[in-house]
Amino acid sequence: MVTGSYKSSATRGLPALEGAKRINIPETIRDKALILNIRNRVISGGKYGLTFVAIREYDISKKRMPFMVVGFYHILIGSNQPNEATISRSSLGKILALREAERLIVEGITSDAEMLLKEALICQTTLVSE
């Protein structure tokens, strides 16, 4: 598997979707048939990764993860043209295994794919508050 370039999208406390809209990211794909179509393309092979990660403000006192939006791309074998989609973390988990989805998100926000998602979010929250 090859992953692409990563860019963390700072939302400055705005909800993730509002932050994404501010930098001209389109609405997220929610249609189950489209998510399944993307999953089937990924299963057929090729390269995939994230182009951005937008995260709603994270409250470390809560167990629930914040809402996240990612720019996902997939390039079919033999093609140079990426298929791109803006999707939520939960939809990414339906396309890939949840562990792989979280690994990509962690790498996108910290460049360290070995951290757990919650650890990466706490680390980013600590950096922002300092």
| pTM score above 0.85 | no
User: Among candidates 103, 94, 97, which has minimal Cα distance to 53?
Assistant: 103
pLDDT of residue 24: 64
pLDDT tens track for 93-120: 999 999 999 999 999 888 887 889 988 8
List CB contacts of 9: < 8 A, sequence separation 6 or more. 19, 20, 23, 25, 52, 53, 54
40-66: burial string, b at 16+ Cβ within 10 Å, e else: ebbeeebbbbbbbbbbbebeeeeeebb
The pLDDT of residue 48 is 96
The residue with tokens 């937008």 is 54
Instruction: Render pLDDT for 7-43 as a digit per residue (tens, 0 to 9).
Output: 333 333 345 556 666 666 666 788 899 999 999 999 9
CB 9 within 8 A of CB 20: yes
Residues 6+ apart with CB under 8 A from 69: 16, 17, 20, 25, 28, 53, 54, 55, 86, 87, 88, 89
